[in-house]
Amino acid sequence: MSDLVNVALESGVLTVTLARPDKKNALTNDMYGALADALERAEKDTAVRAVLLQGDGDSFTAGNDLADFAKISQGAKGERHVTRFLTNLASATRPLVAAVQGNAVGVGTTMLLHCDLVYLATTAKLITPFVNLALVPEAASTWLLPQRIGYARAYAMFALGEPVDAQTAFSFGLANAVVAPDELRAKARAAAEALTKRPLGSLVHTKKLMRDAELIKAQMARESQIFSERLMSAEAREAFAAFAEKRPPDFSRIAG
């Protein structure tokens, strides 16, 4: 579906690599489709015992492609694969491992809340600028993030949108370890391979017991409705235009 996402199965690990480094792995609709397909394959293909998510270049991902958002805010229609990707993340029963370097923006951070093991390079920066973009957080992060790190920290991440560095993210409990950038892939790969040696049935049940998939999906549905409304707002149009024009947004003349 997209040549900007590479999927490879080796020794039971389905490695899913975002491969759009010139745009910091910003996610287009087709890329979301490829990610959704990979997660569906992981559930169906008995050879897959763990999934490893990673990104090429200096960033994990800059989040949703802002040009795509701008098109939607101008009225573009069509299937949005992001919904299928998020639903598949919520329903995933296979272990998900993430290797994160550089920027992990928006969904680049919120998807980590659905991963079972997260490894950060020292360069990692978790950024959730939903409010700065006049949107609301997604991927059930409005529930999962405060639950994980507490309301005060979660609110600051969402409302101020300031980057959280690797050590801070680790101290918040958002990751399992921080490693040197040149060790990141090997570390995450070794963890994924270790999981392939564990009894899959037991891993699947353990994950199901630790996560309330139905509650997560219900929160995603609530977020998604408001997110879609916000995408069409004058505030969001200003935010996307400002990014395209490489200037700060000016919300001062727009009534909320």
95 vs 129, which CB is nearer to ligand COA?
129
d(CA 209, CA 211): 6
> How many beta carbons lie within 10 A of that of residue 2, not counting itself?
20
Q: Give CA torsion, residues 112, 187, 177, 89, to 10 deg.
A: 10
d(CA 256, CA 250): 13
Least Å distance, CB 109 to ligand COA, is 9
Least Å distance, CB 130 to ligand COA, is 6
* CA 157, chain centre distance (Å): 15
Q: Is 180 helix (H, G, I), strand (E, B) or coil?
A: coil
117 vs 133, which CB is nearer to ligand COA?
133
* Footprint of ligand COA (CB under 6 A): 23-24, 26, 59, 62-67, 103, 105-106, 129-130, 133
155 vs 208, which CB is nearer to ligand COA?
155
d(CA 185, CA 99): 6
Least Å distance, CB 67 to ligand COA, is 5
- First-last CA distance in the chain: 38
Least Å distance, CB 181 to ligand COA, is 15
Closest CB to ligand COA: residue number = 106
20 vs 189, which CB is nearer to ligand COA?
20
Least Å distance, CB 5 to ligand COA, is 15
Structure tokens at 199: 């009894």
4 vs 13, which CB is nearer to ligand COA?
4
